[in-house]
Structure formats: structure tokens, C-alpha cells
Amino acid sequence: MAVNTEKTDNAEKDIAVEKDVHAEKAIAQTVRKLIDYAVLTDLIGWNDRIWSYNLVLDLIGAEEPAPDETWVLAEKNSYGGHSGKPADAFDLEDTLALLARAAVLNGKEEDTAAGRDRISMRIMGILMPKPSDVFRTFWALYEKNSPKAATDYFYRLSCDAGYVRREAIARNIQWTTPTKWKDLEITINLSKPEKDPREIAAAGAAAAAKTTGDAGVSGAAKAAGATQCSGEKYPACQLCIENEGYS
């Protein structure tokens, strides 16, 4: 019995196209939900929605689809403001993981835990107020309200932006035990991500390459300032102020 290979090929192409359409719709929906979350938590303003949508698409290597017209034309009063609590029924960690996966598939970032985390933070960077805006709001609250109000604002911002990871912290195991001094709080930190084996191997290879490169530079060349690299790390540490905007 002869098989119509042309018909089979066309059917496979139709399935592939259908999958692509579903994937695009899923990405659009995910980005919209993220933007809605950013508006509800006051990370961005109402008029920043479409601008932010397009920037997120670009960051993950997607050129389409366009946002839903109903969403684009939604009225501002259909959204609430910040209630002091995270947006209901929204999982920021899962949402960023989906977008990070899309970025990896589009070749925008390496497929490692560090790579996915890096793209996730870059996405949130799009939705964050500028440092000068945070500084201004913090000190306005500090002076007009109280130091606690200012600190609460900054902590809430850190949580809403995913810098302080509520879901990850909730996985930690903690308890309090009495001591002869005072109660001691003990925490088993499960929220710190472990390194991917590929990252460990890459770090080892990079260290070996640096050692080899350093050994190849003669003392005379070093004295003459002919080293190719100063050896200084930038930023010097993960807590340094130079990390602002660095990715």
C-alpha cells in the first residue's frame, strides 16, 4: 500500500505551526500577567504597560505576538493599587522561569541555572523604578512618616521585584530552641540555589585558563605593563554598589 508522503509532511507541518501558535499565545499571556503584576504592585505605572511588554519580548528574543487588544485598551480603573500584599494567584518565580526558558530556547541566554537566573533578573530590571526614584521615595517616607515606613517600602519593593524571594524563603526550615542566654533561632537554608554541574565545570576551566595565561606572561613583560588583563574582578563582589544595572 502506497503512503502519501506529501500528505504526511503537510500534516507534520500543520502540527508544528499549531505548536508555534500555542507557544506564542502562552508567551503573550505570561508577559501580560507579569506586566499586570508589576502595575498592581506599583513597580511600573499604568502608562508603562505596552512599553514594558515590548521590552520583555525583546529581552527574551521574541518579536511577537502583539498584546491582546482588550488588554491594550483596558481602562485604568479596572486595576487596583498596591494592597501591601503580593498579587493574588500570581507566582512570580514560575512566571520568570517560563520566560527564562523562552529566552534560552531563543538563544538569548545559556541553559544553566545562572543563565536562567540572570535573564530573570534582567526581566525584572525592566520593571523596576530607577535607583534615584527609589532613593527619593525612601527618604520622603523616612522624613514625612517614619524610618519604619521607609524600610517597609524598601522591603516590599525587594519582595515584589523578586530580589527577596518569598517562595524560596518559605521552603526554609526553621525553629527556635531555648538556651541559657536567650532563645536561639536556627534556620536550614534551602532557598540558596545549588550550582549546576556544567557551571562548576565551566568555572574550573576558566580558572585553569587564567592560570595558564598568567604563567605565559614573562616577568619582564609584567614589569613593562604588558599584561593583557589587570586581574581585577568587576564588580568586586555581589554586594558592591557597582552591581546596579550590571548583568
**pLDDT tens string 195-219:** 656 666 666 666 556 555 555 555 5
pLDDT over 60 at 228, yes or no:
no
pLDDT over 60 at 80, yes or no:
no
- pLDDT tens for 36-72 read 999 999 999 999 999 999 999 999 998 877 887 888 8
- pLDDT tens for 43-53 read 999 999 999 99
pLDDT over 50 at 226, yes or no:
no
- pLDDT tens for 143-159 read 999 999 999 999 999 99
Three-state SS letters, the chain: CCCCHHHHHHHHHHHHHHHHHHHHHHHHHHHHHHHHHHHHCCCCCHHHHHHHHHHHHHHCCCCCCCCCHHHHCCCHHHCCCCCCCCCCCCCHHHHHHHHHHHHHHCCCCCCCHHHHHHHHHHHHHHCCCCHHHHHHHHHHHHHHCCHHHHHHHHHHHHHHCCCCCHHHHHCCEEEEECCCCCCEEEEECCCCCCCCHHHHHHHHHHHHHHHHHHHCCCHHHHHCCCCCCCCCCCCCCCCCHHHCCCC
Q: Residue 175: pLDDT band by 50, 70, 90 thresholds? A: very high
Q: Residue 137: pLDDT band by 50, 70, 90 thresholds? A: very high
pLDDT over 80 at 233, yes or no:
yes
pLDDT over 80 at 166, yes or no:
no
| Residue-level pLDDT at 15 | 41
